[in-house]
Each structure stands twice: as C-alpha cells, then as structure tokens.
A = this chain, B = another copy of it.
Amino acid sequence: MTSSLGAELAQRGVAPNCVRTIELVRDVLARVGDKWTLLTITVLASGPLRFTALHEQVAGISQRMLSQTLRGLTRDGLVTRTAYPHVPPRVEYALTPLGRSLSEAVDGLVCWVRDHQRDIARNRDEFDQVPAANTATRPCP
C-alpha cells in the first residue's frame, strides 16, 4: 500500500526524499489526524484518568468514540489500560513513555497555533472582505 504510493510518486519523477516525507505526513495524519485522538492524548498528558473522567474532559466525545479511540491508542502502545477487579469496575488510562514523547512533539504545533492564530484570523477577515476574492479566476492587479 505504502510502497505502491512510493512507486507511483517515483514514477512521476518526484524526488525520493520528498516521497519519504509525503509518506510520513500520511502516517502522521493516520495516527493523530482524526477528530479525537490528538485531543485524548493532550488530555491524558496532564495525568492518568478513568474512563468517565476522560469522557467529561474530552468535551463532546461519545462513549463509542472514546472507547474506540482509547483502544487504538492502546494498540499503538501510546497509552496503558489498567483494569482493577472491583465492583463497580475501575479502569485507568495513562500515557506510556512513547505516548508522552508524542504529546511533547505535538506541543510544538499547539504552541505554533497559540502564537499565530491571531494572524490567521486577521488574514481570513481581510480575505473575506475582498469581494470575489474567494474565486480563483479573478482579475490580475
């Protein structure tokens, strides 16, 4: 699958190192690009949490998506799942060292957004105020 993508790109004359980058970006998105994974990781970054606690902190997530997301993260070795044989059940989720290192890598992106979201909002407003700027075929100045 990935190799066929690489072959396809190589055939188009795309430089090999660029092909690698493109595949990596694909992997990034496959792992943290969905709606809830990144959010769950950053919430867990502040400490271990039980299922219900996560369900409250990750605003808007359904039980279905939470358990699904957590299973995926556990599968990848990014979080641990610890079940205590109690009644009522008690299950704790926590980041593994691998998960923590990912969380730190994500921090860079989060900081970037924090530092530049004002700029983006301003650019967006400017763009929207120019009439017909949202169409690509516009007159050349």
Residues of A bordering B, CB below 8 Å: 5, 8-9, 12, 14-15, 18, 21-22, 24-29, 31-35, 38-39, 42-43, 46, 56-60, 67, 70-71, 74-78, 81, 83-85, 91, 98, 101-102, 105-106, 108-114, 116-117, 119-120, 122-124, 127-128, 134, 136, 138, 140
Partner of A77, one of B101, B102, B119, B136: B119
CB distance from A30 to the nearest CB of B (A): 9
CB distance from A42 to the nearest CB of B (A): 5
With A12-B56, A18-B43, A120-B77 in contact, is A25–B5 under 8 Å at CB? no
With A35-B29, A76-B124, A108-B108 in contact, is A57–B18 under 8 Å at CB? yes
Q: Say whether A77 contacts B12, CB under 8 Å.
A: no
Q: Which residues of B contact A119 (CB under 8 A)?
A: 77, 98
Complex Cα gap A127–B78 (Å):
12
CB distance from A87 to the nearest CB of B (A): 13
Instruction: Specify how many copies of this chain sit in the oligomer.
Output: 2
CB distance from A36 to the nearest CB of B (A): 9
Partner of A71, one of B18, B21, B134: B134
Q: Say whether B110 contacts A101, CB under 8 Å.
A: no
